[in-house]
Structure 1
């Protein structure tokens, strides 16, 4: 039996569409970049950079096409732009379906080649979500987290959303565009095929570790400090609040950096600024790295005593240094005054000893007389 062209061509078209996965990006400053095929490893690093979890994806940065892909499709901040020009709100949307999304036609895009199975794509999205918020999402199973991502959470940043409805996807996409989100979308046909090697197409990356040990609130900081000194990832030990994470009286050891690459690294390394401030994004250095580097540092605040009569100011990279300028000036001025007083006394005595005796002392004394 001969197969007609009308039978073969639709079958080939279906196979081609079933193996296609495309990533679209939408930023406030659109770029004119030609669409091309990108490997799954380079695409993963682009997704990690655009969702702000690139610290977990350092293993494959040396591959040839990775840097070019990040330069072309990663988040970028103009060199002389203000903070509002950057991407403060990010969103990653995954659509699994066969329908063409017309709203994505004008966006910058690239294809994944070879395209991983939809199960592997879904698994990568779950891992990116866990990396973005390990404190809340790491303890959830894949089923629970997948169900949560199917209802969009506007309070989270970055925002993750998965759907199989083209209308729902389009409505949420339009809403995010109006709210000036930096949007990354991944569209792929929904299939049930999965191979043992499909998950390895993304390359190598790390996940946060869930600390199963539970301790009383008085010892939370001591355990976190012990974990930090052992060399574990700083993003795993972000404390729940200032009071619980700063109950230890142990000083921070070593020389602390003035800048941290992420908010979680700043909070964990400085113990939430030792309870005397908060970690904030100080600035973005456009000259470091391919797309610039964020600088997070402690913003210190003054504290008052229990009776409210004494105010203490703090400084240092972790707000761990107490301002002793008042005590310093008191001691310095007292020392200077005492030195001046002693110098004046010595000078007065020296001046008195150097003066000549008055002549009246010898006025009643006659000289020797000559004997006849």
Structure 2
């Protein structure tokens, strides 16, 4: 009898959860972020724009035509401006590299898991998403991110995903990862264990994170898209017409590759830092043969070990240092000789022509200045009056 009563109560609670789905919580990890006492409730369409704005690799212009009538455009824009990525200054330039942007989506969270995460973080939720969409909508959203070249084609473990210097999980300045807490409940434990490590990256200005926790009750939602105007045809239209913000797709990502003629071939982005000497040498083809990989921040340039503690993340930043190369001009008498070629770029793949350019420019400016000065002197001498004695000898007689 007790067993039947327990099953009945569980079924009723499941039906109640399906009828009244739990809201999704979004947490912000940002060095300049200050939580507000009032937690705003943001529709899924506006939340989608926030995710796209944070992970966009170019200036993102929000098209808010798909927002619901329950929120006005001005409020939607203010939410995107507040919770999105901070825009770069217009008239000033900073030497500091912008922080990498990471979006972590955790779906299938039970009530106890949500409470556990909220207690551990010890901070207010940045915003909530009422009536979050289904797991099918999350798949469509990840497909959009992969189409934009943001989401990784391979499922990285959470400790590696939160490390912006992990070259295997990061192919650019932004990344999106998704985990299912029902099939992989250990992901939440891994997040809590690496929370101090994540906060270290954030406090150093290397990383900004938006964590979206989707409840298990949202799986039964009938909403299959994050955007009201989204669909299979809309996704295909975006693939063909939108400006693609990604770099070249990885070789194994067949699902993310666009159709033939949809987009031009993209050049693979080379990270500013590699975590190991081996990955730097392999992915840059030994700096294109024009340099070598060195550790920019570490004392020992040969140290290629990975430190997972997070405290020495700056000590594992391998990058190419380009060197000048002496090449033979040719075998003929006219071209015989040697010249020094300088190289630049993240892979030392670009020939540096700044020195010949400035030599030619400086020589041209000097010659033009000398000719101008000579012409000016000729005119100045011609305008001078002759002395009086010479003037009297050459004066015309009356």
Query: TM-score if structure 2 supplies the norm length?
Result: 0.50
Residues 95, 174 of structure 1: alpha-carbon distance in 2 compared, 3 angstrom cutoff = farther
Partner of 1:175: 197
Partner of 2:254: none
The partner residue of 2:212 within 173, 186, 197 is 186
How many Å separate the matches in 1 of 2:150 and 2:98?
18
**Conservation of the 8 A alpha-carbon contact between 2:35 and 2:126:** no
**Conservation of the 8 A alpha-carbon contact between 1:24 and 1:104:** no
The partner residue of 2:103 within 89, 92, 98 is 92
Alignment of 1:181-330 (within 5 A): 181-190=207-216, 193=220, 195=222, 197-201=224-228, 206-207=238-239, 208=244, 239-240=267-268, 307-308=339-340, 313=354, 324-330=361-367
Is 1:334 aligned with 2:398?
A: no
Partner of 2:82: 72
Spell out structure 1 runs of 4+ moving beyond 6 A: 3-9, 209-212, 303-306, 320-323, 348-352
How many Å separate the matches in 1 of 2:87 and 2:245?
31
Partner of 1:14: 17
The partner residue of 2:129 within 108, 112, 116 is 112
The partner residue of 1:147 within 148, 155, 162 is 155
How many Å separate the matches in 2 of 1:131 and 1:13?
37
The Cα offsets for residues 214-242 of structure 1, whole Å up to 9 and x where unpaired, read as xxxxxxxxxxxxx9xxxx99xx6654589
Query: Alpha-carbon deviation of 1:28?
Result: 1.0
Query: Alpha-carbon deviation of 1:186?
Result: 0.8
How many Å separate the matches in 1 of 2:102 and 2:133?
21
Alignment of 1:26-45 (within 5 A): 26-33=29-36, 34-45=38-49
Residues 159, 67 of structure 1: alpha-carbon distance in 2 compared, 3 angstrom cutoff = same
The Cα offsets for residues 105-152 of structure 1, whole Å up to 9 and x where unpaired, read as 514322212311122124324423542549xx6xxxxxxx26357784
How many Å separate the matches in 2 of 1:346 and 1:76?
64
The partner residue of 2:381 within 330, 341, 344 is 344
Residues 85, 110 of structure 1: alpha-carbon distance in 2 compared, 3 angstrom cutoff = farther
Query: Alpha-carbon deviation of 1:51?
Result: 2.3
Query: Mind listing any 5+ residue stretches in structure 2 that lack a counterpart?
Result: 68-72, 182-186, 249-260, 271-323, 328-338, 343-351
Partner of 1:23: 26
SS in 2 for 1:147: coil
Residues 159, 184 of structure 1: alpha-carbon distance in 2 compared, 3 angstrom cutoff = same
Query: Alpha-carbon deviation of 1:189?
Result: 3.0
Is 1:161 aligned with 2:180?
A: no
Query: TM-score if structure 1 supplies the norm length?
Result: 0.53
Larger Rg, first or second structure (1 or 2): 1
Query: Alpha-carbon deviation of 1:7?
Result: 6.9
